[in-house]
Structure 1
Amino acid sequence: MSDDADQRRDDERDGGAEGGVAPARGGAQALTSTLRSGLEAMRDVREASRRHGAARSRLRDLEDELAESEAALARREEVEGSFDDIVAEQSDVVERSAREISGQRERVERLEDEARELDERLARLRDDHEQELRPYKRIAETARGRSEEAGRGVAEAKRAVRTAEGQVKEATDRREQGIAAANRAVDSSQERLRKVRDELRRAQGSGAAPAAVRQLQDELATELAHVEAARSEVSTVTSEAQSSVDAAQTHLWTQKRSLEEAQREADAAKREYEARRDDYEARRANAQAQEKDLEDRICDLRREAEEAKAAHDEAAERHDEAQALLDEARHVHDTPEETERLRDEIAALRDEIASQRDEVDELAEGERSLRAHTRSSRMALGAVVLVALALIVGIAVLLATR
């Protein structure tokens, strides 16, 4: 009995396990089927879009090719329709531009030859002017040297005058001082003489001893001699001091005369230098004016040569353009088969474009239909992807918080 009960419990447990596994297996199969159908739908839509895009690209290429062919055909028809006018007009342009090219080339060569000749003349003229002006420049420089030397002589003479003036002042001061000192000595001697005379009168009036009177008389004679000697010294000092002053003034006068002579020489040297300088500058200005005239003529010739070159290039450009149009017209006129080929090609392209448009429309409709048909599968795939991403994010967050 116990064994039967155990067997029943085991059967029930196994049956419960199988009942849980079956729904899980069914869910996995449904998920797999959803993923497969979604992926297949995405692949089919991409392929349909690729075929549609390729067809549209091919249509654009065909339309571009048709536009180029139509433009080429229109140009050929336009040229063929105006062939006679184009040939006449462009032939005239080619002929006239060729003549102008030749004329401008000759003009350029002539102008450049003239400019080179004037360049050579200018070089020779500059050499000639340099040789002609060299002596005048040297004379002017020599005159300037003499003027500067004379100016230095004036400066030295002025310094000598100032020195002589100082010597006159010193001699005058010494004269005044010497005379004043000699006069003071006379005044002192006269003062002593008065004192001795007063003492002598008092001694004689008071009845002094004869010996005392004689002594005072001797002193009086001595003081009289001193006064005479002092007065003689005043004359001597005055004469000698005046001689020194006269000599200093004579030296000053001589130096002033030397200064005047030096100034006259300096003025004359300066006038000579200015005359020589002005003569040299005038000659040099005249030479530069002649050189400038040649330089201007050379510049004019080169400017005219550049203008002629520009006119030559413009004529050459008109010639090339006209010749190209002429060659094109003759080529179109001589190859009518190419015109027919373009017409056939354009017709074929139009047919191919019509067929390609139908194919593009068909593929576009197929792509729209496929997108509508697979919309649910693609949305389901998107939902599964979003759920899977959400699970991955949740697991990552859970692991990060542990």
Structure 2
Amino acid sequence: MEDRQSAPEEPQEKSPSSTADDALVAARGAAQSAASRLREGVNAVRDVRAAARRHSSARARLREMTEALEADEAALERRDEVAATYEQIVEEQGAAVAEAKAEISRQRELVERAEQRAASLEEQLEQLRENNEEELRPYKRLAETARGRSEEASRGVSEAKRAVRTAEGQAKDAAERREQSISSANRAIDSSQARLRKVEEELRKARDGHAAAGAVKQLQDDVTTELAHVEAARAEVSVVTRDAQSAVDAAQTHLWTQKKSLEEAQREADAARREYESRKQDYEERLARARDAEEDLEDQISSLRKEAEEAKAAHDEAAERHDEAQALLDEAEEVHATPEETKRLRASVAAQRAEIEAQQGVVDELAEGERSLRTSTRGSRLVLLAAAVAVVVVIVAIVALIVTR
């Protein structure tokens, strides 16, 4: 029995349920630890952001205070400068104001005078245009009437040329018909003479051959007839020649008459053209003189308008100089009359410098606190960052898995 008690005990195996409980406890511990570290990371990020906001707000406040101080320092410096040169400013700017006023008055008078003169010349120009139009109207009418006559005469020349061409054609036709008629009459004579010679030859043969008296008699009658035909043809040639020549003479006379008419129409057209050119030249010369007179007045008006514009520009420049000098003078008077404001501003500048120095200390302190907090919480914030990255990786993996399926 003692021997059994002294024997070493064998290790007992844990049950499956005991192992699962231990794993659950370990998992819970790990989860709690991870959650605690994540909370620490979140708190660290929140604290760092709060410190950064406080630091940024303090720096913004310092910047505003500095800008306000710089503005007041500039104002104080300007007041000191004005106070130190008060008498000089009053003397110089007072003279500048007086000079600018005189210049403004002078330029205003120049503007008024130039505009009045320009208005008067514009009235003269309008009246001159009306007078010129009235005076030129009869000369313009004469030129237009002469142009109408010239154009009408030119049309008469064109009609006369057409009549001449027609008469030339008629004369040519009459000459051709004369030649044709005479040629036809001469051919008739030739034919009659040829028949006469033939009959005379037959009569000669009949006589030589002692033909019957009746046949000879018949041939003698034929010869007589053909002789009559020849004489008639010759008479016809004279008649045809006379009649054809008469027609040619009439056509030539008509052509000569038409040429004379053309020459007369051409003389009338030349005279009408010369008259139109003379009337036109007279009108254009008068018109040019009228336009020169109008343009002379227009140039004077333009010069006066330009003079008025230049005087207006000089007036505006003098007004600007006056306003600038008056502003400097008013400023000097205001500074000279309110020394207490200079004193107040000087005290305010000193107070602001002290406040800025104190604010700079606050900014430095907050900056140091922010740097210290960032250093001390660096690990916690990195853990939070790693956790966020892990979550993103898991999400990406899940999405990739879903897509591949």
Q: How is 1:7-156 mapped onto 2 (pairs within 5 angstroms)? A: 12=15, 14-156=17-159
Q: 2:314 aligns with which of 311, 316, 319?
A: 311
Q: CA 1:70–1:233 in structure 2 vs 1: closer, same or farther (change >3 Å)? A: same
Q: Distance in 1 between matches of 2:250 and 2:402?
A: 128
Specify the code of the residue in structure 1 equivalent to 2:166: T
| Displacement after TM superposition at 1:146 (Å) | 0.6
Specify the code of the residue in structure 2 equivalent to 1:207: H
Unpaired runs of 5+ in structure 1?
A: 1-8
Q: Distance in 1 between matches of 2:249 and 2:255?
A: 10
| Displacement after TM superposition at 1:399 (Å) | 4.7
Q: CA 1:223–1:370 in structure 2 vs 1: closer, same or farther (change >3 Å)? A: same
Alignment correspondent of 1:224: 227
| Displacement after TM superposition at 1:398 (Å) | 4.1
Q: Distance in 1 between matches of 2:261 and 2:17?
A: 154
Q: Distance in 2 between matches of 1:359 and 1:185?
A: 152
Q: CA 1:157–1:84 in structure 2 vs 1: closer, same or farther (change >3 Å)? A: same
Q: Distance in 2 between matches of 1:400 and 1:252?
A: 114
Q: 2:271 aligns with which of 250, 268, 271?
A: 268
Specify the code of the residue in structure 1 equivalent to 2:348: E
Q: Distance in 2 between matches of 1:260 and 1:77?
A: 107
Is 1:176 paired with 2:170? Answer: no
Q: 1:353 aligns with which of 340, 352, 356?
A: 356
Q: Secondary structure at the match of 2:69?
A: helix
Q: Distance in 2 between matches of 1:372 and 1:266?
A: 118
Deviations 1:157-214 (A, max 9, x none): 1111111111111111111111111111111111111122222222222222222221
Q: 1:377 aligns with which of 363, 377, 380?
A: 380
Alignment correspondent of 2:241: 238
Q: Distance in 1 between matches of 2:62 and 2:343?
A: 24
* Matched length: 394
| Displacement after TM superposition at 1:14 (Å) | 4.9
| Displacement after TM superposition at 1:389 (Å) | 2.7
Specify the code of the residue in structure 2 equivalent to 1:46: R
Q: How is 1:316-335 mapped onto 2 (pairs within 5 angstroms)? A: 316-335=319-338
Q: CA 1:183–1:112 in structure 2 vs 1: closer, same or farther (change >3 Å)? A: same
| Displacement after TM superposition at 1:341 (Å) | 1.0
Q: CA 1:394–1:229 in structure 2 vs 1: closer, same or farther (change >3 Å)? A: closer
Q: 1:192 aligns with which of 174, 192, 195?
A: 195
Q: Secondary structure at the match of 1:208?
A: coil
Alignment correspondent of 1:364: 367
Specify the code of the residue in structure 1 equivalent to 2:34: L
CA-atom RMSD in angstroms: 1.6
Q: CA 1:243–1:85 in structure 2 vs 1: closer, same or farther (change >3 Å)? A: same
Specify the code of the residue in structure 2 equivalent to 1:260: E
| Displacement after TM superposition at 1:19 (Å) | 1.8
Q: Distance in 1 between matches of 2:267 and 2:403?
A: 114
Is 1:161 paired with 2:168? Answer: no
Specify the code of the residue in structure 2 equivalent to 1:68: A
Question: What percentage of residue pairs aligned between the two structures are identical?
Answer: 63
| Displacement after TM superposition at 1:383 (Å) | 1.7
Q: Distance in 1 between matches of 2:398 and 2:229?
A: 147
Deviations 1:142-165 (A, max 9, x none): 111111111111111111111111
Q: Distance in 1 between matches of 2:35 and 2:90?
A: 79
Unpaired runs of 5+ in structure 2?
A: 1-11
Is 1:259 paired with 2:262? Answer: yes
Q: CA 1:290–1:25 in structure 2 vs 1: closer, same or farther (change >3 Å)? A: same
| Displacement after TM superposition at 1:400 (Å) | 4.8
Q: Secondary structure at the match of 2:210?
A: coil
Q: 1:208 aligns with which of 207, 211, 233?
A: 211
Q: Distance in 1 between matches of 2:232 and 2:387?
A: 154
| Displacement after TM superposition at 1:76 (Å) | 0.7
Q: Distance in 2 between matches of 1:116 and 1:380?
A: 91
Q: CA 1:13–1:164 in structure 2 vs 1: closer, same or farther (change >3 Å)? A: closer
- Pick which of 295-304 and 181-190 moved more: 181-190
Q: CA 1:196–1:390 in structure 2 vs 1: closer, same or farther (change >3 Å)? A: closer
- Pick which of 190-199 and 60-69 moved more: 190-199
